[in-house]
Structure 1
Amino acid sequence: MTQTPGPAGTWIITPGHMCARFPAAHGCGADVALVDLEDSVPATAKPEARQMARAFFTNPPTRSALGVRISSPTTRDGIRDLAALHGYPAKPQIVLIPKVESARDIEVVAGALDTLGYAPLLYALVETPRALEELPLVVRADRIAGVLFGTADYATAAGCGRAWEPLLHARAALVTSAAAAGIPAIDSPFFDLDDLDGLRHEAEKAKALGFTGKSCVHPAHLPVIDEVFRPSEEEIAAARAIVSAAENAGGSIVRVDGRMAGPPMVAAARALLAREEARTPSEVRA
């Protein structure tokens, strides 16, 4: 079974063993809210986190798409996470798979979770040099819905710094492969919690590179990320003008506000409007 692309935008990740933080994650307004069973949970707390995480998906008052980051399916904890998800009364819409290094990792999770009435959106967390080498195959896995970049683990594995320049090649390769496969690419969190200017600078560069969203671990980062990645009213109006002019011109190159708009610009405008439509609740669009 093939998978349609999943949501982009703002993502927040909350430790699964800290249920007191669940309401904040539900109410923060992120496009996607994930409960974590992997790195943010100590080994001794993982059994407790698997049980607590059930409540994250049980009728929460939220507009966010809800998901879970499991442990790697090639580990004992990952197998236990997958088994635990089967017992959840309410299932996650999204499953983030860490340490993905082959399309087979996606297939294993799909095989473990898919049922006749349930097939979650599967995202691959790319965080090793080996994963980068295998990206052209990973992004074409039948059930993949998107990719995320993990800078901390990647930098550790590659022996490089976590600044923008040392990771530029990996980021560029990731967005290129994701774009070729037609799936969203979400950038890594910015780990300096108090440097909002630094966050904005990195988010702007990630957007310019081709990322369609950015994750975070603290709600204070969400407004900055949302402002960077959500199109302004002016950008939306300009995109509508380009699409309208192109439709009236029968597909010919057109002039809009003094600028040439050929097929690539029209395609970009359509994509912008489609992303905004997907991120806007139906009651707001009505």
Structure 2
Amino acid sequence: MTAALTAPGGTWLITPPWEGRLEAALRAQPDVALLDLEDSVQPDGKDPARTAALAHLGTAAVHGATVLGLRVNAPGTVHGLKDLAALAGAGLRETVVLVPKVESARELELVAQVLQETATGVRICALIETPRALLRLTNIFASPVLGGAVFGAADYAAATGCRRTSSSLLWARSSLAAAAAAHGIPSIDSPYFDLGNPQGLRCDAQEARDLGFTGKGAIHPGQLPIIRAAFNPTEEEVAQAQIIVSSAESADGQIVRVGGQMVGPPLVAAARAVLDRAANGTGPSPSGGTQ
């Protein structure tokens, strides 16, 4: 495994591997249903959780439009090593493998080396959740085996002592999204943990989109519609993008004036990206993306 296979963007639903939980996740049709062997499982449940997760992955790694994934334990831990040994013998196919606590490219390449003889179509992604990782993004994201990055807000906040607020996490989120864009890989924002605050989730998801993230994690199926609405262009955005692209094409690529705004190549490129998102998603959201 010498070159990265890019992981899906969009919605990532994180779930324990226990009976019934994956089925509920698949009914919600996320882009990635991620079975979690790390934070969702207590130490004394790691071995049965691993067995259950691999049984799920062994049936089929793609369910309709949903790709199955697995968050292993950190490779530097006993359970992380057990996870890698089990994955090496599992014959994974078209699966996302999320590696937590990544602080160097070498950790990702170790996982790739373990899987290279038996796995096919595996996308290795890095969970960026420590201050040291944020300071080493250039090294980590230059790895040829990296297929995507996920921000872990809870562990990052615990490590830095900051609060999980928009302002306190702004630098970390912006840095990760920009670095991922520079390396052409998807970036997935951290889940929003307050299940009783849909408006907070809506604002958090819209901010993630504005910062340049290509998707966002979720911890409950009920969060997915709000996340999708935030990441899909609104009807107004699509209409404005169509006007910009049409005007630019009529002007043969020259700078034009659209609705009082001077529009050059960067804005045309942004408008084309909006139209691409609308075409590849579920369609535009109502005004403001707040459905």
2:14 matches 1:13: yes
Structure 1 residues 117 and 32, CA, compared in 2 at 3 Å: closer, same or farther?
Answer: closer
Following the alignment from structure 1 to structure 2, what is the Cα–Cα distance between the partners of residues 48 and 280?
A: 37
Consecutive unaligned residues of structure 2, counting only runs of 5 or more, are 284-291
Deviation sequence 1:222-269 (CA, Å, 0-9, x none): 111111012234433443443344344332223445543211112222
The runs of at least 4 consecutive aligned structure 1 residues that moved more than 6 Å come to none
Aligned match of 1:27: 27
User: Would the aligned equivalents of 1:149 and 1:188 in 2 still touch at CA under 8 Å?
Assistant: yes
Q: Secondary structure at the match of 1:141?
A: coil
Following the alignment from structure 1 to structure 2, what is the Cα–Cα distance between the partners of residues 90 and 113?
A: 8
Give 1:48-63 correspondences, 5 Å limit: 48-57=48-57, 58-59=59-60, 61-63=63-65
Following the alignment from structure 1 to structure 2, what is the Cα–Cα distance between the partners of residues 267 and 125?
A: 30
Read off the aligned partner of 2:173 and give its amino acid letter. R
Following the alignment from structure 2 to structure 1, what is the Cα–Cα distance between the partners of residues 129 and 210?
A: 21
Structure 1 residues 206 and 141, CA, compared in 2 at 3 Å: closer, same or farther?
Answer: same
Q: Secondary structure at the match of 2:70?
A: strand
Aligned match of 1:284: none
Structure 1 residue 158 displacement after superposition: 0.8
Structure 1 residue 153 displacement after superposition: 0.6
Structure 1 residues 92 and 53, CA, compared in 2 at 3 Å: closer, same or farther?
Answer: farther
Read off the aligned partner of 2:3 and give its amino acid letter. T
Read off the aligned partner of 1:201 and give its amino acid letter. C
Read off the aligned partner of 1:29 and give its amino acid letter. Q
User: Would the aligned equivalents of 1:253 and 1:260 in 2 still touch at CA under 8 Å?
Assistant: yes
Give 1:146-185 correspondences, 5 Å limit: 146-185=148-187
Count residues in correspondence. 280
Structure 1 residues 75 and 117, CA, compared in 2 at 3 Å: closer, same or farther?
Answer: closer
Aligned match of 1:97: 99
Following the alignment from structure 1 to structure 2, what is the Cα–Cα distance between the partners of residues 244 and 30?
A: 33
Read off the aligned partner of 2:178 and give its amino acid letter. T
Structure 1 residues 231 and 65, CA, compared in 2 at 3 Å: closer, same or farther?
Answer: farther
Structure 1 residue 81 displacement after superposition: 1.1
Following the alignment from structure 2 to structure 1, what is the Cα–Cα distance between the partners of residues 70 and 214?
A: 20
2:40 matches 1:37: no
Q: Once structures 1 and 2 are overlaid, which stretch shifts more, 180-189 or 99-108? A: 180-189
Structure 1 residues 106 and 248, CA, compared in 2 at 3 Å: closer, same or farther?
Answer: farther
User: Would the aligned equivalents of 1:68 and 1:92 in 2 still touch at CA under 8 Å?
Assistant: no
Read off the aligned partner of 1:125 and give its amino acid letter. L
Structure 1 residues 239 and 187, CA, compared in 2 at 3 Å: closer, same or farther?
Answer: same
Following the alignment from structure 1 to structure 2, what is the Cα–Cα distance between the partners of residues 166 and 279?
A: 30
Following the alignment from structure 2 to structure 1, what is the Cα–Cα distance between the partners of residues 282 and 109?
A: 31
Structure 2 counterpart of 1:192, from 191, 194, 205: 194
Q: Once structures 1 and 2 are overlaid, which stretch shifts more, 92-101 or 260-269? A: 260-269
Consecutive unaligned residues of structure 1, counting only runs of 5 or more, are 282-286
Q: Secondary structure at the match of 1:67?
A: strand
Deviation sequence 1:68-111 (CA, Å, 0-9, x none): 11111222211211222233365352111110001111111111
Structure 1 residues 21 and 179, CA, compared in 2 at 3 Å: closer, same or farther?
Answer: same
Aligned match of 2:132: 130
Structure 1 residue 167 displacement after superposition: 1.5
Following the alignment from structure 2 to structure 1, what is the Cα–Cα distance between the partners of residues 7 and 234?
A: 22
Structure 1 residue 4 displacement after superposition: 4.9
Structure 1 residues 175 and 61, CA, compared in 2 at 3 Å: closer, same or farther?
Answer: closer
Structure 1 residues 104 and 89, CA, compared in 2 at 3 Å: closer, same or farther?
Answer: closer
Read off the aligned partner of 2:30 and give its amino acid letter. A
Structure 1 residue 162 displacement after superposition: 1.4
